[in-house]
Structure 1
Amino acid sequence: MTTYEPMRPGLEPLARFRVELAAVKELGQTQWGRRRVIDVLGGSFEGPRLAGEVLPGGADWQVVHADGSASIDTRYTLRTHDDALIYIQTQGLRHGPPDVMAALGRGETVDPATYYFRLAVRFETAAPGYLWLNSTLAVASGMRAATAVCYDAYALS
């Protein structure tokens, strides 16, 4: 009898993303936590398989929980170097020690090794050269700066 085991996923670098952000809009405390909306102003991405610009529009519809952790939920549009449009959505978590999370909340740049910021990334496009993204699940490791978020995305193989 043949025994099979699940494949161990690998990581293939896609791109480094830099997403420029507007000031935080605090919606206030809801039943889910403190709701914040952070508009996307633009940005860029570059890597071995993807390069181009982050278009203005879209946002992070974020919830900050009582323990200071944040649930990330972003949606925005990319334009590649060869003019293809790609919809991107990320969902993730950011958490760390209270003093680190407070510093991030004040807009300070903090060493990303002192907190956890990970994302699941999905893409959608009709551009022929990028159809492979529609069936690609990616993960990312990020960091928050005062006016931007930066993350490295990897396709799961």
Structure 2
Amino acid sequence: MRAAPALRPVCTLTVELSPVRELGRGRAGKKRIIPITGGRVEGPELAGTILGVGADWQTVYDNGCAWLDARYAFETPDGALIEVVNQGYRHGPPEVLARLAEGEPVDPEEYYMRTSARLETGDPRYDWVNCTLFLGSGTRLPSAVEIALFAVT
């Protein structure tokens, strides 16, 4: 059997958010949209500015678990545009999720927020992102989300 894949730190995405827009109950749970207004990308392999062109389309199930489906883009300092599709789950004890919903700062060790990200670009300088799997570990801040992104090696 092969060894388990390793994770290589790539960057931290600090994604700035507008207030939550509640859509109401859908087929699978409570639906909401959180517009993405900007942010930054900082790290050893990727850096840039997050563009205000996306949103996180969430479904919150009856058990409190949220399916995250964020789509946005960033521009690197050398002008490349990179699309991000970041999907995953956030869940935890009801009292912790209530504090997050109120915008309170909560230690990320008190809840689970993990994602898988697909990055894509047409810029040949960053072609490696088109064929790399990425995993993220997230933190919900009062008006932003911070995702530590790792390449699966």
Partner of 1:23: 19
- 1:53-89 superposed Cα distances (whole Å, 9 cap, x missing partner): 1000110000111111100001001101111000000
Is structure 2 residue 95 aligned with structure 1 residue 99? yes
Partner of 1:109: 105
- 1:4-38 superposed Cα distances (whole Å, 9 cap, x missing partner): x2342011110011000011000001111000000
Is structure 2 residue 123 aligned with structure 1 residue 127? yes
Deviation at 1:109, TM superposition (A): 1.3
Report the number of matched residues. Answer: 153
The equivalent position to 2:62 in structure 1, one of 61, 66, 82, is 66
The equivalent position to 2:145 in structure 1, one of 131, 146, 149, is 149
Report the Cα distance in structure 2 between the residues aligned to 1:95 and 1:70, rounded to whole angstroms: 6
Regions of 4+ moved over 6 Å: none
Percent identity among equivalent residues?
46
Read off the aligned partner of 1:82 and give its amino acid letter.
D
- TM-score for both structures, normalised by structure 2: 0.98
2:4 is paired with a residue whose SS is coil
Partner of 1:37: 33
Larger Rg: 1
Greater alpha carbon shift after TM alignment, 7-16 vs 113-122: 7-16
Greater alpha carbon shift after TM alignment, 55-64 vs 6-15: 6-15
Report the Cα distance in structure 2 between the residues aligned to 1:7 and 1:122, rounded to whole angstroms: 23
1:99 is paired with a residue whose SS is helix
Partner of 2:7: 11
Partner of 2:47: 51
The equivalent position to 1:79 in structure 2, one of 75, 87, 112, is 75
Gaps of 5+ in 2: none
